[in-house]
Structure 1
Amino acid sequence: MKADPATQRRLLDLADVDTELNRVAYSRTNLPEHAEIDESETTMRAKQDAQVVAETALSDLRRELGRQEKEIDQVRARGKRDRELLDAGTVGARQVTDLQHELESLIRRQTTLEDELLEVMERTEAAEADVRFAEADLAGTREQLEQIVRRRDEALADLGTQETRHAERRAKLVEGLPADLLALYERVRAQRGNGAALLRARRCGACRLELDRVTVSKLKAADPSEVARCDECGVILVRTSESGL
């Protein structure tokens, strides 16, 4: 294959642009914010679970509070009824004794229930504090995640701008290149990751290996328009005054 030396040199600019496009693509998938977001989301899920546990514990305690308050109300109502019966003096002596014993039992039961209620109230206050802490902790993590997402989106937008700029430059460079030369370049780039490289001081700019004497002699004797390839890595070798031939 042959191509004008000036046209071949355009491949170097094309290779530079493709290198930048590869860098942009790599950066897009390897932004540090991606890992930070994954870590923050994992942390947030754990804190959401912690909040659910705290809220469940608080709900159970409030339900227990309601049950105990209802039971205390029932004991008080029973005691009030017994006292009213005693005060009314309408019951016999045997019933008076029974009512007095029941009142004593109800007073002891009320005292026990009120002590238990106080304990549950203290536990409820602690559980409410736990819920407030869990909510604040989760809110802090959510805010942190939102900040990371904003940084990621800004970085992606910047990379998108760079990609657009490089793609526009690539389109201009590709325009007018011979179809067979461009096809060779694209095929080599797909296989090797790099389509063309400068031959500088008898060394391939892609694999960095120095050409042997036989290859150098062949290139010296070759028509400048002949498209050369590196024997080691296969890229198109672009020859200039820097090639040392």
Structure 2
Amino acid sequence: MKASAADQQELLRLQAIDTRLAQLAHRLGALPQAAPLAELATKEDSIRRTRAEAVGVLEDAKAELGRLESDVSMVEARIARDGERLTHTSSLKDVSALEAELVSLKRRLSDLEDAELVVMEKVDQAQGAVDAIDDERAAIGVQQSKLEAERDEAAAGLTTERDQAARDREVVAGTVPEALLAFYEQRRARGGGVGAALLRQRTCGGCTITLTGSDLESVRRSAPDEVVQCPECDRILVRTDESGL
């Protein structure tokens, strides 16, 4: 690849900014609030899943209670109907049948009401479980808000510096030829964030290996506009008056 010496040296400016951006990102990620916030996020996610299960239990209990209440209403309506019929019949056969049915219906009503009380208790317990989870989530939310406010205050200066560095990068990157910039980005992705390094006194600034023998001679013979790479780390080697060639 060919690129003017001046364009190649612009890569050193770009690399310095990229290194600074990486440092700022690390510092922002290493703020003392970051770890407890991550723990709270994990805890909140777990509690959210637990709440979904608890709500499912509550909805099932409410549905069961609704069915029982419907059955109770139906039995009460039949008791009222049979009671009304009993007061208006003079047939001994009908009276006997109605009285027997009323005994059966009242027994059924008693059983339903007992079951209803049991399920009402289940609903209360399930609702209590959901309420307790909501209280816990609210407490976590308070902790998160407090830590986020502390984090944002601590990060304000770093964020401003990061944003300025990002703007500076955009300006510098705009001065680098597209092909050279793409090659730099490729090297940077493979080189742990370092795509270009100064060759100072025959030593690569990326991997600190000193060039000797045929490697050194190959770099010496390369034209100034030839983009050369470190034979050890494969990063772009930027040559200047400090290179010792």
Give distance in 2, aligned partners of 1:18 and 1:117: 73
Select the residue among 186, 189, 199 that pairs with 2:184: 189
Give CA deviations for 1:115-148 in whole Å, capped at 9, x if unaligned.
2222222212312431342355357448757948
Shift of 1:189: 0.9
2:238 corresponds to which residue? 237
Distance 1:21 1:173 in 2: 14
**1:54 and 2:55 equivalent?**
no
SS at match of 1:236: strand
- What SS does structure 2 have at the residue aligned with 1:237? strand
Task: Identify if the C-alpha distance between structure 1 residues 53 and 200 changes in structure 2 by more than 3 Å, giving closer, same or farther.
Answer: same
> Tell me, which stretches of 5 or more residues in structure 2 are unaligned?
29-33, 189-193
Describe the shift of the 1:107–1:80 C-alpha distance in structure 2 as closer, same or farther (beyond 3 A): farther
Render the CA deviation track for 1:198-231: whole Å, top value 9, x for unaligned: 33464312244331234446767999x7777334
2:24 and 2:220 map into 1 onto residues whose CA distance is: 37
State the 1:3 CA deviation. 4.1
Report deviation, 1:17: 0.4
Counterparts of 1:70 and 1:244 in 2: how far apart (Å)?
Answer: 100
Contact 1:200 / 1:244 at 8 angstroms: preserved in 2? Answer: yes
Aligned positions, number:
225
Q: Is the 8 A contact 2:199 2:238 kept in 1?
A: yes
1:195-234 equivalent positions in 2, closer than 5 A: 195-200=195-200, 202-216=202-216, 229-232=228-231, 233-234=234-235
Secondary structure of 2:238's partner? strand
Aligned partners of 1:188 and 1:234 also within 8 Å: no
1:2-41 residue pairs with structure 2 within 5 A?
A: 3=5, 11-21=11-21
Question: What secondary structure, in the 3-state scheme, does the structure 1 residue paired with 2:197 have?
Answer: strand
* 1:75-224 aligned within 5 A: 75-79=79-83, 81-82=85-86, 84=87, 91=90, 95-96=91-92, 99-100=95-96, 102-134=98-130, 136-137=132-133, 140-141=136-137, 144=140, 147=144, 151=148, 161-170=160-169, 182-183=176-177, 185-193=180-188, 194-200=194-200, 202-216=202-216
* 1:62-116 per-position Cα deviation (integer Å, ceiling 9, x unaligned): 232132133134214523652x45xxxx83xxx3465256425423430332122
3-state SS of 2:206 partner: coil
Q: Identity over aligned residues, as a percent?
A: 21
Unaligned runs of 5+ in 1: none
- The residue identity in structure 2 corresponding to 1:197 is A
Partners of 2:239 and 2:40 in 1: CA distance: 43
| Counterparts of 2:173 and 2:99, CA distance in 1 | 101
CA contact (8 A) 1:62 1:124 kept: no
Q: Give the equivalent residue in structure 2 for 1:67.
A: 71
Moved more, 201-210 or 35-44: 35-44
| AA matched with 2:125 | A
CA-CA distance at 1:196 after TM superposition: 2.4
Structure of larger gyration radius: 1
Cα deviation, 1:14-54, whole Å, max 9, x if unaligned, reads 311023345678999xx987998698568636633642452
Please give the secondary structure, in 2, of the residue aligned with 1:210: coil
**How far apart in 2 are the matches of 1:240 and 1:40?**
57
Distance (Å, rounded) in 2 between the aligned partners of 1:132 and 1:76: 36
Distance 1:3 1:202, change over 3 A: closer
> Deviations along 1:135-177, whole A, 9 cap, x unmatched?
55357448757948x95x959x9686444211233356568xx
137-146 vs 166-175, which deviates more? 137-146
Are the aligned partners of 2:204 and 2:230 in contact in 1 as well (CA < 8 Å)?
A: no
Summarize the Cα distance change of 1:160–1:114 in structure 2 as closer, same or farther, 3 Å threshold: same
Matched position secondary structure for 1:199: strand
Q: What TM-score results when the alignment is normalised by the length of structure 2?
A: 0.61
TM-score norm. by structure 1 comes to 0.61
Q: What CA RMSD, in Å, does the superposition of the two structures yield over aligned residues?
A: 4.9
Give the Cα–Cα distance (whole angstroms) in 1 for the partners of residues 182 and 100 of structure 2: 99
Cα offset for 1:192? 0.7
Change (3 A) 1:103 1:220: closer
